[in-house]
């Protein structure tokens, strides 16, 4: 792969392997690689936390640490191109509603136990809303979400799916490559 060049330099074998795994065509992969290179400011083929936060679009995103967690599939603390592409597939037009639900749910499921507690919902809403809503209002909203729980105090993925409409999810978590 390239080292910060303006033209994506994907090796043919790497391009083919990613195409097979992702279903993306070479043109889509090259566009994603160009974006990856733009984020990889030091050209070492990995995006670090510092590089992510250095981007003006990302600097104010309160969900960035949580999103980075999902991109860093191997837990190395950095994101390589394969991880970048694999995670972006969660946002593609070919992703099913069920896959988007799973991804959205996992974003909120901070402890990974398969349920959302009021505390997790509160923390994620606080991250997303920041200072735009007072904590007591966020508390009311997070508790309100739990009224739909089939298990007392725990929101399952099925409960979460019932709360989120397909159109809302489509609008908020879809990228076109």
Give pLDDT, residue 167: 61
pTM of the prediction?
Answer: 0.69
pLDDT band with cut points at 50, 70 and 90 for residue 6: very low
Q: How many CB atoms are located within 10 Å of the residue 18 CB?
A: 21
pLDDT (tens digit per residue) in 40-64: 999 999 999 889 888 887 777 777 7
Residue 155: per-residue pLDDT: 94
Q: Is 138 left (phi over 0), alpha (psi -120 to 50) or beta?
A: alpha
């Amino acid at each position: 792969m390239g080292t910060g060049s303006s033209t994506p330099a994907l090796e043919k074998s790497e391009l083919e392997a990613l195409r097979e795994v992702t279903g993306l065509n070479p043109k889509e992969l090259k566009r994603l690689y160009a974006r990856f290179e733009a984020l990889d400011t030091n050209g070492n083929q990995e995006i670090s936390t510092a590089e992510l936060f250095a981007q003006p679009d990302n600097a104010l995103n309160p969900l960035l640490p949580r999103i980075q967690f999902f991109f860093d599939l191997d837990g190395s603390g950095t994101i390589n191109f394969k991880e970048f592409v694999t995670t972006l597939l969660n946002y593609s037009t070919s992703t099913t509603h069920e896959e988007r639900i799973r991804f959205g749910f996992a974003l909120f499921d901070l402890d990974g136990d398969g349920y959302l507690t009021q505390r997790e919902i509160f923390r994620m809403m606080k991250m997303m809303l920041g200072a735009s809503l007072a904590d007591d209002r966020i508390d009311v909203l997070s508790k309100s979400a739990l009224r739909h729980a089939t298990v007392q105090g725990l929101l399952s993925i099925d409960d979460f799916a019932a709360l989120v409409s397909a159109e809302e999810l489509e609008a908020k978590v879809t990228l076109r490559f």
